[in-house]
Chain A
Amino acid sequence: ILNVEQSPQSLHVQEGDSTNFTCSFPSSNFYALHWYRWETAKSPEALFVMTLNGDEKKKGRISATLNTKEGYSYLYIKGSQPEDSATYLCAFISWTNAGKSTFGDGTTLTVKP
């Protein structure tokens, strides 16, 4: 079983604050890392697919970076809005675990107006 950890488990910020959280994964046999956004009562939706060390992806106010050598990815939200409130999941895919993505437990973000 691969160990994928997300921190913090939960985060409460004020509207307008910028925030970031971490996904840690095994640094060996890396293939890809996915970030998903999961709003309450909805299904997870893909945010980013990251495959190369040093990858930086951006979608609006949300961006992500990837360091495969040290085994972590950061997700940043600039100027948080209440509609950013959701659980953010990362999923790690390795060469040795072909076809199986291992999800972290998620970081739940609450943005207060």
Chain B
Amino acid sequence: NAGVTQTPKFQVLKTGQSMTLQCAQDMNHNSMYWYRQDPGMGLRLIYYSASEGTTDKGEVPNGYNVSRLNKREFSLRLESAAPSQTSVYFCASSENLILRGDEQYFGPGTRLTVT
């Protein structure tokens, strides 16, 4: 039981390049989330997916797109990377949308640098 896995762990991009961050969970959770974490700041929600087939914007969605490929996988895409997107990205999942009070389980993070 791996929990929440993310790939890659590290990535360096040049401004304007695109990439997709992958996330998968094996806990049969319905809801999945993408956060970014910047120095001195807490986690900020980028996008979330309440259930397979649905996605919604979080606090900081600009410059990102997501795909809930199936119940297990939730990917985050940067179409044209910018230095402001340099951050650590965390994927998380919960049994159901947070409104049920379910805690989130986090992946190990992807450290992204955009030069």
> In chain B, what residue has the closest Cβ to A104?
B42
Q: How far is the CA of A48 from the CA of B16 in the complex (A)?
A: 41
Give A96 Cβ to nearest chain B Cβ, in Å. 11
Total chain B interface residues with beta-carbon distance under 8 A: 27
What number of A-B contacts does a CB cutoff of 8 Å give? 66
List, in ascending order, chain B residues with CB within 8 A of A36's CB: 103
- Pick the most buried of B45, B58, B98: most chain A CB atoms within 10 A of its CB: B98
- Is the beta-carbon distance between A49 and B42 smaller than 8 angstroms? no
- Is the beta-carbon distance between A99 and B43 smaller than 8 angstroms? no
Which listed residue (B43, B48, B56) contacts A44, Cβ 8 A?
A: B43
Query: Can you list, as one digit per residue, whether each of B24-41 has a CB less than 8 Å from chain A (1) or not (0)?
Result: 000000010001000011
Total chain A interface residues with beta-carbon distance under 8 A: 27
- Is the beta-carbon distance between A93 and B109 smaller than 8 angstroms? no
Are A103 and B42 also in contact (CB < 8 A) when A32-B98, A43-B90 are?
Answer: yes
- Pick the most buried of A43, A49, A104: most chain B CB atoms within 10 A of its CB: A43
Q: How far is the CA of A103 from the CA of B99 in the complex (A)?
A: 15
Q: Does A27 contact B (CB under 8 A)?
A: no
- Is the beta-carbon distance between A105 and B104 smaller than 8 angstroms? no
List, in ascending order, chain B residues with CB within 8 A of A1's CB: 59
List, in ascending order, chain B residues with CB within 8 A of A100's CB: 45, 48, 58-59, 98
- Is the beta-carbon distance between B45 and A49 smaller than 8 angstroms? no
Are A43 and B107 also in contact (CB < 8 A) when A1-B59, A31-B99 are?
Answer: yes
Q: Which residues of chain B from 62 to 115 have any CB-CB distance to chain A below 8 Å in the complex?
A: 90, 97-99, 101-109
- Is the beta-carbon distance between A49 and B59 smaller than 8 angstroms? no
- Is the beta-carbon distance between B98 and A93 smaller than 8 angstroms? yes
- Is the beta-carbon distance between B99 and A44 smaller than 8 angstroms? no
List, in ascending order, chain A residues with CB within 8 A of B103's CB: 34, 36, 46, 49
Give A91 Cβ to nearest chain B Cβ, in Å. 8
- Which residues of A are interface residues toward B (Cβ below 8 A)? 1, 4, 6, 31-32, 34, 36, 42-46, 49, 51, 89, 91, 93, 95, 98-106
